[in-house]
Structures are given as C-alpha cells and as structure tokens.
C-alpha cells in the first residue's frame, strides 16, 4: 500500500454485491463480443494474408533447399556440379554439423560432402517422408 493512500473498508455485503456486479459486467461483455464481434481494420486481414503467404513461401523454400542439399550437394558425385550447388545454396559463412564434426564455410562443406559421397558413390538418397519444416528450419529423413 502506498504511504499516503487511504484504506477503504467495505462490508462483506458490499464485497458480495461488488463481485456480483463485476460478474454481471463480464457476462454482458462476453455476450456482446459473441453477438457483435469486433470489426477488424482493413489492414489486419491484409497483414494476416501476407504473413500466411510468407510462411507458405518460406516453408516451400526450406523444403526445396533441404531437397537440393540432399540430392545436389550430398548426393552429387561430380565435384564441379556439387560445388556449383553449394555456392547457390550455402552462405559463405555457413556451418554444417554432423556426428563426426563441425564444418565452417563453403570449402569445408564441399570437402566433407565429397568425402561422404566418396564413401558410397553409387548410393542414392531416398526420403522416408516429406521434408519437415518448422519456421525457417527443417529436416529430411
């Protein structure tokens, strides 16, 4: 309580009446909201649609990048085509994590992708399920 504030003492009857009034007000407010929902401004639906479209686009972009990474980088035996794909897909400061290490930059990603592919040159990756995308990240299995 603030130092100069006055305490207001109310009786139990007044407290019950106050609580009943608040409950009635809340009930009426809920009823009004259901029968007269607030109107959205014209900008809100447009922004919602833009956000939805951006999420769909991001999702398809992430899916496409995951598939290209799998097939055009780690599934590519030709070093020239693999490097071209890496240059298109990865930022120059990209970092690739795998169980045996962390590889930084396009050159290291190219090197490790070549080592991995050389260990099984005739193998073709096949998806177990469609790419899973959450936000701006995802995975393939």
pLDDT per residue over 29-52, tens digit each? Answer: 455 545 555 454 555 565 555 555
Two tokens, residue 5: 């504030």
The answer as to whether 86 is a domain residue is yes
The answer as to whether 36 is a domain residue is no
The answer as to whether 74 is a domain residue is yes
Helix (H) or strand (E) holding 98, with range, is strand 95-98
User: 6-20, 56-70, 77-91, 126-140 — which is least confidently predicted?
Assistant: 6-20
Determine the average pLDDT of the residues in 22-30: 49
Number of domains in the chain: 1
The answer as to whether 94 is a domain residue is yes
The answer as to whether 67 is a domain residue is yes
Residue 3: per-residue pLDDT:
54
Q: CA-to-CA distance for 81 and 31, rounded, in angstroms?
A: 64
The answer as to whether 118 is a domain residue is yes
Residue 106: give the domain boundaries.
53-126
Q: How confident is the model at residue 59 (pLDDT cuts 50, 70, 90)?
A: very low
Query: Is it the case that residue 1 has pLDDT exceeding 50?
Result: no
The answer as to whether 105 is a domain residue is yes
The answer as to whether 88 is a domain residue is yes
Question: H-type helices in 42-133, by residue range?
Answer: 43-68, 79-89, 105-118
């Amino acid at each position: 309580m603030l130092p100069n504030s006055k305490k207001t003492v109310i009786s139990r009857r007044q407290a019950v009446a106050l609580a009943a009034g608040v409950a009635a007000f809340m009930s009426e407010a809920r009823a009004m909201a259901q029968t007269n929902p607030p109107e959205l401004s014209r900008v809100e639906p447009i922004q919602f649609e833009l956000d939805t479209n951006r999420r769909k686009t991001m999702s398809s972009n992430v899916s496409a990048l995951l598939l290209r990474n799998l097939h055009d980088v780690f599934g590519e035996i030709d070093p020239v085509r693999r490097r071209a794909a890496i240059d298109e897909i990865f930022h120059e400061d990209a970092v690739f994590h795998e169980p045996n290490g962390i590889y930084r930059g396009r050159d290291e990603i190219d090197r490790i992708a070549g080592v991995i592919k050389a260990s099984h040159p005739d193998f073709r990756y096949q998806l177990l399920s469609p790419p899973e995308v959450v936000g701006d990240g995802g995975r393939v299995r």
